[in-house]
Amino acid sequence: MKTRATTILGIEHPIVQGGMQWVATAELAAAVSNAGALGVISALTTGSPENLAREIRRCQDLTDRPFGVNLTILPSIIPPPYEEYRDVIVSSGVPVVETAGNNPRSFVEIFKANGITTIHKCTSVRHALKAESLGVDIVSIDGFECAGHPGEDDVPGLVLIPAATALLRIPVLASGGIADGRGLVAALALGADGISMGTRFMCTRESPIHSRIKDAIVAATELDTELIFRPLRNTSRVASNSVSRQAVEVLAKGGVFEDVRELVAGARGRRVYSEGDPEHGVWTVGMVQGLIHDVPGCEELVARIVQDAEALIDLRLGALTR
């Protein structure tokens, strides 16, 4: 299944693993890449540029196929050393970078000057067009269904993806609400050149999160998420639990971020993944958890998605025109 994205990224299948914080480790990225898709490491999860360099080397030891690094650039009172992370990525010979968050102009210029393919994650058509104007090679566009930050426009993928592909000249990866071959076929039909999946790859054997969290995702439905920070216009989709519901309630009553700071602390969310208590803090997951029913290995998952997509195109859709 060849698309512009597979050609640019040097991969076999038009599938990319999301650069999820606390989840996108070398083991997961390598397993995805070894399956013929594109695995991605989360730079900020490593905690320092030095640790990122070590994580990249570990991934290079685990796969000889292309993989990427996600660098999420966000404003902060004490920002991480983004430029140092960037320099590690360049010096380590990583072939692909996924940027997200703020305008990546200065980063894209340096990555492109060093021959690195750049994907930028967006939540709106206007941001995707801006990214294209900055010279990124591929845009990954998140529909409202996605885990994490869906933006503030609330446009679902069925509208957002064709709206973006109608205007962009560069390839688009569809993200949000995709977990299987049906999602891949739908994305291609809407004009995308591939898909990016986060939540689905959380529920694989190689994913580093606790098995109880994987079981919780399998047991959940598409209704079991919450949108926190809506009144603050920093919406984030997370698992519905006692902590996220409390945060939603406090903010809906006029609370400010300081009133929920302890509830939504990142350290608590990280312990959810490491210790397996889904009620300990807020943790990111998409509506697509309602379509996830097992915990396969990455090789099995990628092969299944591609095989199901090909069968759907050849048998079901093809039959409709015969």
Q: Are strands 117-122 and 138-142 parallel, antiparallel or unpaired?
A: parallel
Q: Looking at domain 4-208, which CATH architecture does it have?
A: Alpha-Beta Barrel (3.20)
Span 59-64, mean pLDDT?
Answer: 98
Burial class (CB in 10 A: 0-12, 13-18, 19+), 294: exposed
Burial call 140-160: b when 16+ CB within 10 Å, e when fewer? bbbbbbbbbbbbeeebebeeb
Please indicate whether residue 272 or residue 76 has the higher confidence score (pLDDT). Answer: 272
Domain ranges of the chain: 4-208, 221-284
CB 28, CB 302: distance < 8 Å = no
The mean per-residue pLDDT over the stretch 183-212 comes to: 98
pLDDT band at 30 (very low <50, low <70, confident <90, very high): very high
Query: Which positions ≥6 away from 115 have C-beta within 8 Å?
Result: none
Predicted confidence (pLDDT) per residue in 141-168, tens digit: 999 999 999 999 999 999 999 999 999 9
Q: DSSP character for 314? A: I
Q: For all residues of the chain together, what is the average pLDDT?
A: 96
Instruction: Give the pLDDT confidence score for residue 322 in this predicted structure.
Output: 76
Kindly report, residue by residue over 78-88, the tens digit of the pLDDT: 899 999 999 99
pLDDT at 48: 97
Res 77: pLDDT = 77
> Sign of dihedral through CA atoms 178, 184, 186, 192?
positive
Q: What is the model's pLDDT at position 315?
A: 87
